[in-house]
Amino acid sequence: MAAAASANDKFPKVQGGGSLILAWQIRNKHVLVVGGGEVAAGRILNVLNADAIVTVVCPADGLNPEVRHRVANNEVHHIDRVFEPSDLESLPASNGNAPDMVMCAIDDPAASTQVWKLCKQHRIPANIADVPPECDFYFGAVHRDGPLQVMVSTNGKGPRLAASIRNFIAKSLPPNVGDAITQVGTLRSKLRQIAPKTEEGPKRMRWITRVSDAYSWNDMVDLTDEDMDNLLKFYGPNKVPDLDVLKGMRGGREAEEIDVFDGSFGFCIGV
């Protein structure tokens, strides 16, 4: 009994009822959007931001101004008619292939359910707007700052509340956090160039983690290309220099040439 109690304290408890929140990579994948109203416009923008190829099936007179703008600027492909079951088998924009994802946003519950059932037959993940039981995935409230994306999900229960929570989180984040993440991404790319081997992976990850812990977000934003190149010199010996040392290396100086006061000595005056 004591051993069982100890195990229960050691491991996290399962909390059912949630969703598996993932960063779904849909770059160059084909997304079919059924409908062209306000809800569809928001869905379209979300997947365009993820670099998807989008086809909208909707009569032209059902397109709202934003979707009409996307069509006019060739940001999406438009089929001027209502949805047909064959759309789940072949569409011109996908070179005759089935879509990889379907989103339905029309004001017809019966037709929406039919789209859902057809998607299940074709094993295509789908989202039926405002019908949580007929969704393989939900859209959350997202804060975006360059490469940073923070999503708040209420699992379809309170979208408006999710937006309020997102705004609260966004206000608490530093204004330059997106730039800092971009810098870390640049550093990682440079590191892969000098240490490309697969077996270097664990060391690369540990070193990048140490760099991220050693420097503040403001410090990362201020690093120049020269600073990054100098920083990479410390990867081999698996070290992370103090920021003062790194900045002192500007202009071609080596770390050994730089004297940095570390506070290890001093003096006092007696009165």
Catalytic positions, written as ranges: 130
CA separation for the pair 174, 233 (Å, rounded):
29
DSSP 135: B
Helix axes 177-194, 201-214, angle to 10 degrees: 150
Q: Which of 73, 19, 75 is nearest to 49 (CA)?
A: 75
Q: Which two tokens stand for residue 125?
A: 């993940």
Q: Look at residues 105, 100, 124 and name the one whose alpha carbon lies nearest to residue 33.
A: 105
C-alpha atoms less than 13 angstroms from C-alpha of 41 in its C-beta half-sphere: 12
Token pair, residue 60, equals 């032209």
Distance CA 202, CA 200 (A): 6
β partners of residue 30: 53
C-alpha 157/C-alpha 140 separation (Å) is 11
